[in-house]
Amino acid sequence: MPYPYNLDLSGVLRRLDRKTPTGRIRLANDPVTAAYLSAGMQLIEKNLGPGAERRTPSGTEGAGGSVSPLPSFLSQRVVAAEVANNPPPFHRMGSIGTLRTTWRSQSDYIADLLRFGLWAHQFPIVKHSEKIEAAKQRLITGGDFVEEFHALCYWLLVTLLATPAFRLGLLAAAVAEADETVARAVSDHYQDNRDKWNSLYMAVVAAYQVSLRPGTVPEDMGRMLTALTDGFALRGLSDPHTPLFDHDRHRSLLGTAALALILSFGQPADEPPNPTIEDAARAIFTPKSQT
């Protein structure tokens, strides 16, 4: 199997229809399971992009044939048929029956496909992932902090906009309220992203001896940086002509906004605590007539 299908997927696929841990591990790494994941990823790219075909939305059959808010292009019938279009060495014979013996419902399949796609989002664009990791390392080992932070944010945003699974994540977030299984997958994804930002921020704090303003904790920074990243990516998808990037300099508005955020909340650890962000804002924006 090609990367990342050749990796152990037992920790990624959590909705497989097996009762024992051994059975779930075996099924997670079965070539037939990989074939349905591959088919789903192909359908995501065809329907959500980059370069998606624009289509009129329609209903989707769920378990038992009921109407579901989940995307129709990932119905059991369409996914089973798409297996025939898999490239070698994936299986090319799919059926609704086999799909249903692997995942009990369409929601279970989409939740695992979402987890897989977001976990393995780097595999079509490995070179970007390498640049992201290189920028992270230089960021905490003494490189030009501003330039490396801009490069990190630039490549993160480029990666998200080129990742079909990110588009599925947005769609899944829109229907999560109506589907508890998908909602859990979306929540896991955001938790993973927060953890990554938190880990990076704590490494920066340790490397540069930075502390946070009173009233703020590192987890807040992770949540805010995650929201900024997804927000800029969403704007880039919905309005491709928005000037988000300076490709020549490897910069983006995400980098500027994220730098402003960490600058607002950070301070040298050996200095007296700054006022809270609210008190700092009041000091600037109090009308002159009240001073």
Topology of 124-271 in CATH?
Tetracycline Repressor; domain 2 (1.10.357)
pLDDT, position 124 = 46
Tokens at 20, concatenated: 């024992």
Taking only the tens of pLDDT, the chain with its 291 residues reads 887 888 899 988 988 988 899 999 999 999 999 999 999 888 887 877 665 554 444 444 444 443 345 567 888 999 999 999 999 999 999 999 999 999 988 888 988 888 887 776 544 444 567 788 888 888 888 778 999 999 999 988 888 887 776 777 777 776 666 667 777 777 777 777 788 788 888 888 888 888 888 888 888 888 898 889 889 988 988 888 889 999 999 999 999 999 999 999 888 888 888 888 899 888 888 877 765
Using DSSP bridges, classify how beta strands 210-212 and 266-268 pair: parallel, antiparallel or unpaired: antiparallel
Nearest residue to 107 via CA among 62, 45, 57:
62
- Hey, CA dihedral for 44, 46, 51, 57, is it positive or negative? negative
**What pLDDT does 156 receive?**
87
pLDDT at 199: 84
Task: Please state the domain extents for the chain.
Answer: 21-119, 124-271
